């Protein structure tokens, strides 16, 4: 009998086995048997192997695979959702958005870009500005891009572009996009059309400039009429009263006393009229300039309010009439605030030239106030704090700016800062229209 006549049988039987300690182990029993032609088992071999760990590993692998597939589906869903969201943002935003690579070739432009330049995203992809935009616009764009790539930082600029319906102003922010190693790979630009806001701002500017100019003119006229016309009438009246007084002195002492009262009353009125005319528009501002006008105003302020008022002026450069008027009015408003709000004992008005700037400061030792109330009033558009808003407006109309420092209990300092070149420049050309 040789091996060939034997029938080989092999069988794997998995079964479970519970140990005394309750632990379940998986066993694989592999049995091999040889039978002869009559079916009798002539020899057999059985091996049982503990496959618990293998089983567990298989189970864990299966679970991990399922988990992974669930996760990647979820991820795909999220990516699709985000892509759609970003796509919608790009489509519906009123801003012009584009992405370029390092060589300045467009990778993506949004629908506003397509509308604005009359191009299609597909047609633009891979092209540079020079290929799709008018030359001057392209050159302007490319110069800006270079700055972003060099600095690897965001850049914000205002750009003017001629469109079919005229000149538009865009507020553009360009920023670098980095790859995972931190290298700049692309550039993204977002441009917002601020033409309407710009126009409204310009209009408001012109309006407030013309209101201020007209107000000054009217004040000057009223001031002159008060001083000249009313002043002359009062002077004539006074001469008559004196004449009466002289006539009545001997004959009618009671009548003379009346005439003397008249003289006093007229004198007081002449003083009031002069002071009113001066406050409306000091002629001295036009005749002698800012320093003399402030000198006079501050001493008048001290007399009227009882607050000690020091005035100090270094030699200052010549300036335009509008600048001198703005500075004078700002000092006037700041001092009015001192009288009205500060409860100060002393205030110092200083006019000096520092590092190419003319600085007018009004500093009091009063009770101070939280300057945040000014910002709050500004954002709320409240009717309060119009005095400070007016000072700011006057300052910016002549090319300077205003700073207000204050804290409760620490006094207040208002500073008008004017670059010296703004003092005599032919300004307001754009404001006049």
Ligand X SMILES: Nc1ncnc2c1ncn2[C@@H]1O[C@H](COP(=O)(O)OP(=O)(O)O)[C@@H](O)[C@H]1O
Radius of gyration of the chain (CA): 45
- CB of residue 136 vs ligand X: minimum separation in angstroms? 45
Binding segment for ligand X (CB under 6 A), chosen from 41-49, 105-113, 123-131, 332-340, is 332-340
Backbone angles phi, psi at 21, to 5 degrees: -80, 10
Nearer to Mg ion, 111 or 396 (CB): 396
DSSP state of 118: T
Nearer to ligand X, 66 or 375 (CB): 375
3-state secondary structure of 182: coil
Q: Are 307 and 339 in contact (CB under 8 A)?
A: yes
Interface residue with ligand X, options 222, 385, 422, 431 (CB under 6 A): 385
Nearer to Mg ion, 109 or 416 (CB): 416
In 338-385, alpha helices (H): 372-380
The CB-nearest residue to Mg ion is 387
- CB of residue 285 vs Mg ion: minimum separation in angstroms? 20
Q: Is 347 exposed, middle or buried (0-12, 13-18, 19+ CB in 10 A)?
A: buried
Q: What is the CA 347 to chain-centroid distance, rounded?
A: 33
For residue 412, give Cα distances in angstroms to 202, 344, 370.
32, 10, 10
Bridge partner list, 45: 32
Nearer to ligand X, 60 or 382 (CB): 382
Binding segment for Mg ion (CB under 5 A), chosen from 156-164, 276-284, 329-337, 364-372, is 329-337
Cβ neighbours of residue 393 under 8 Å, at least 6 residues apart?
Answer: 208, 212
- Tell me which H or E stretch contains 313: strand 308-313
Total residues contacting ligand X (rule CB under 6 A)?
16
- Produce one character per residue of 26-46: b if its CB has 16 or more CB atoms within 10 Å, e if not: beeeeeebbeeeeeeeeeeee
100: number of Cβ within 10 Å: 25
Interface residue with Mg ion, options 110, 337, 406, 412 (CB under 5 A): 337
Interface residue with ligand X, options 223, 332, 337, 361 (CB under 6 A): 337
**Residues of span 372-431 touching Mg ion by CB under 5 A:** 387
Q: Are 248 and 256 in contact (CB under 8 A)?
A: yes
- Closest C-alpha among 185, 165, 163 to residue 175: 185
**Residues of span 102-161 touching ligand X by CB under 6 A:** none
Interface residue with ligand X, options 172, 332, 361, 412 (CB under 6 A): 412
Give yes or no for residue 283 binding Mg ion (CB under 5 A). no
Binding segment for ligand X (CB under 6 A), chosen from 122-130, 253-261, 316-324, 379-387, is 379-387
Interface residue with ligand X, options 144, 289, 387, 419 (CB under 6 A): 387
Cα–Cα distance, 278 to 275 (Å, whole number): 5
- CB of residue 403 vs ligand X: minimum separation in angstroms? 13
Binding segment for ligand X (CB under 6 A), chosen from 118-126, 129-137, 339-347, 351-359, is 339-347
Interface residue with ligand X, options 386, 407, 410, 424 (CB under 6 A): 386
Nearer to Mg ion, 284 or 374 (CB): 374
Give yes or no for residue 338 binding ligand X (CB under 6 A). yes
Cα–Cα distance, 9 to 27 (Å, whole number): 20
Pairing mode of beta strands 155-163, 106-109: unpaired
Give yes or no for residue 369 binding ligand X (CB under 6 A). yes
Interface residue with ligand X, options 95, 309, 323, 388 (CB under 6 A): 388
- CB of residue 369 vs ligand X: minimum separation in angstroms? 4
Contact residues: ligand X, CB under 6 A: 337-338, 340-342, 364, 366-369, 384-388, 412
């Amino acid at each position: 009998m040789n091996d060939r006549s034997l029938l080989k049988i092999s069988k794997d039987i998995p079964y479970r086995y519970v140990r005394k300690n309750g632990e379940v182990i998986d066993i694989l029993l592999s049995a091999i048997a040889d039978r002869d032609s009559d079916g009798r088992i002539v020899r057999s071999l059985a091996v049982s192997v503990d496959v618990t760990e293998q089983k567990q590993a298989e189970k864990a692998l299966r679970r991990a695979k399922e988990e992974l597939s669930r996760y990647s589906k979820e991820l795909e869903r999220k990516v699709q959702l985000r892509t759609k969201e970003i796509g919608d943002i790009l489509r519906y935003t009123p801003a012009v958005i584009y992405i370029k690579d390092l060589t300045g070739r467009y990778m993506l432009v949004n629908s506003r870009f397509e509308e604005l330049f009359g191009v299609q995203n597909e047609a633009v992809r891979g092209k540079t500005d020079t290929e799709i935009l008018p030359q001057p616009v392209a050159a302007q764009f490319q110069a800006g891009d270079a700055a972003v790539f060099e600095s690897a930082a965001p850049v914000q600029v205002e750009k003017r572009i001629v469109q079919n319906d005229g000149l538009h102003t865009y507020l553009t922010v360009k920023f670098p996009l980095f790859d995972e190693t931190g290298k700049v790979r692309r550039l993204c630009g977002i441009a917002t059309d601020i033409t309407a806001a710009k126009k409204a701002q310009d209009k408001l500017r012109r309006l407030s400039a013309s209101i201020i100019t007209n107000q000054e003119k009217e004040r000057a006229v009223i001031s002159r009429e008060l001083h000249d016309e009313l002043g002359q009438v009062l002077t004539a009246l006074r001469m008559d009263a004196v004449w009466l007084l002289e006539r009545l002195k001997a004959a009618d002492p009671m009548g003379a006393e009346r005439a003397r009262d008249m003289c006093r009353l007229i004198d007081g009125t002449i003083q009031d009229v002069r002071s009113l005319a001066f406050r409306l528009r000091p002629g001295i501002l036009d005749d002698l300039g800012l320093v003399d006008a402030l000198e006079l105003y501050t001493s008048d302020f001290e007399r009227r309010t009882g607050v000690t008022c020091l005035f100090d002026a270094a030699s200052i450069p010549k300036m335009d009439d509008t600048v001198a008027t703005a500075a004078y009015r700002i000092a006037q408003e700041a001092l009015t605030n001192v009288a009205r709000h500060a409860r100060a004992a002393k205030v110092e008005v200083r006019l000096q030239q520092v590092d190419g700037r003319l600085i007018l400061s009004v500093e009091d030792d009063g009770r101070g106030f939280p300057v945040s109330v000014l910002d709050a009033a500004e954002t709320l558009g409240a009717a309060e704090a119009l005095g400070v808003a007016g000072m700011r407006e006057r300052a910016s109309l002549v090319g300077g700016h205003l700073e207000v420092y204050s804290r409760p209990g620490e006094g207040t300092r208002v500073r008008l800062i004017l670059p010296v070149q703004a003092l005599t420049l032919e300004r307001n050309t754009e404001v006049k229209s």
